Chain A
């Protein structure tokens, strides 16, 4: 019985202690709250606040460091995205440079051609080659037609190595396109004259073989390298268009009454890209 009483007493003490302890601290805190925050209390609080200042500074340093890390990471991410954008921009610029180069070359060609136009003052239209026969380089199709004032039997000139030369003749015209028969085609013919001796002849295409001039008198003085121009006797071509240069003179066939001259054309079929179609008439 004594033992039981002792146990009860110990338990009661423990319970009392469990409640008295928080109650004591509660009372203390209430007492602190009641105190006026002036004079000694304020000074005391300020002094103790200074004691804890190093922790606050340490916390501030930690926060600043974390913010700096965050800022650095953000900057790195920004730099990464900026790098990606710049890479794309560089790729775009490279493409633009390539395009600009092509435009520059085209401009050069057109400038050369304009120079020609200024010199000869022919009237006509510029056109581009829209299609060419892949196997036979005898005809090309232009991107201009009757709508642009192009008519059949118009002379076509082109540029190669900065010089203008006869390219062919318009043989078919639609509203938006026109077909040009090139000089080398077997059906092509034009009245020409040789610059040196002023002899005239008939230039005819010869397919894959060199173009030739027929009906040159045997007595005519012709040499390799002589320039060949369209003649004023031609009803189609304006006089003075450069056709090419003499590459060979055949005179070994005794029964012939005229010379046959081979011509190296000024404009090769593969070089034709932009042409100037001289207005007919």
Chain B
């Protein structure tokens, strides 16, 4: 129960951080996606049974404010989480570099996937541009170590968390 409350509070914090960055850097035309950084950070701590729904809800939260398609962010977050769970045994996410690199690449990937999904399901083009996607991904990646540290410090261990092998940092 304690972990659920902590997770909920972290989710609230993630939403605030995401919107703060989105509003603050919006005038620069950068598509910052801190929500994804938090979702990936949750994956490193939570077991897949909790990680997938959490990531799905994180994506769904962004979908509530979208206008073209409902569920596209939930889809891209699920795909990103799947990739994260696949590569997690092969990388040591205690280090800052894997965190930054993974968040950067997956944010870019979800940016492209999102644009494709919107085009596919609504026949409207939602292309922010390469600069916006890469710039936003870079900022998200730079913030990623903070999100990873915050999640691991707050959730740490518990019935929802993975074995110590994956959640030891």
Please list the residues of chain A having a beta carbon within 8 angstroms of any beta carbon in chain B: 17-18, 21-22, 25-26, 28-35, 37, 41, 45, 48-49, 52, 55-56, 58-60, 62-63, 66-67
Contacts and interface: CB of A to CB of B under 8 A. Distances in A.
Interface string B11-49: 010011111101110000000000000000000000011
Contact of A30 (B12, B18, B67, B75): B75
Majority SS at the chain A contact face: helix
A67 B26 CA distance: 13
Given A22-B52, A25-B56, A33 B75 contact: yes
A59 B15 contact: yes
Given A29-B74, A29-B75, A37-B70, A58 B61 contact: no
B16 A21 contact: no
B56 A35 contact: no
B75 A31 contact: no
Contacts of A22: 52, 78-79, 81-82, 85
Given A26-B75, A32-B63, 19 more contacts: A22-B81, A22-B82, A25-B52, A28-B71, A29-B56, A29-B75, A29-B78, A32-B71, A33-B69, A37-B67, A37-B70, A55-B12, A55-B16, A55-B19, A58-B19, A59-B19, A63-B23, A66-B20, A66-B24
Contacts of A58: 16, 19
A67 B72 CA distance: 31
A205 B134 CA distance: 96
Contacts of A48: 64
A129 to B, nearest CB: 69
Contacts of B98: none
Interface of B: 12, 15-20, 22-24, 48-49, 52-53, 56, 59-61, 63-65, 67, 69-72, 74-75, 78-79, 81-82, 85, 117, 121
Contacts of B63: 32, 45
A51 to B, nearest CB: 8
Nearest to B11: A55
The CB with the most chain B CB atoms within 10 A, among A26, A33, A41, is that of: A33
A275 B52 CA distance: 101
Contact of A32 (B15, B24, B48, B74): B74
A148 B69 CA distance: 95
Give 3 closest A-B pairs by Cβ, nearest first: A32-B71, A59-B19, A29-B75
A30 B56 CA distance: 12
Given A22-B52, A25-B56, A52 B61 contact: yes
A17 B64 CA distance: 29
B123 to A, nearest CB: 13
Contacts of B24: 63, 66-67
B65 to A, nearest CB: 6
A62 B16 contact: yes
A25 B54 CA distance: 11
A56 B62 CA distance: 11
Given A33-B121, A63-B24, A21 B71 contact: no
Contact of A60 (B19, B52, B67, B75): B19
B69 A59 contact: no
A31 B81 CA distance: 19
A45 B23 contact: no
Contacts of B48: 17-18, 21
Contacts of A60: 19-20, 23
A18 B64 CA distance: 28
28 contacts: A22-B78, A22-B82, A28-B56, A28-B71, A28-B74, A29-B74, A29-B75, A32-B60, A32-B70, A32-B71, A33-B71, A33-B72, A33-B75, A33-B117, A37-B67, A41-B70, A45-B63, A45-B70, A49-B64, A52-B15, A52-B61, A55-B19, A56-B15, A58-B16, A59-B18, A59-B20, A66-B24, A67-B24
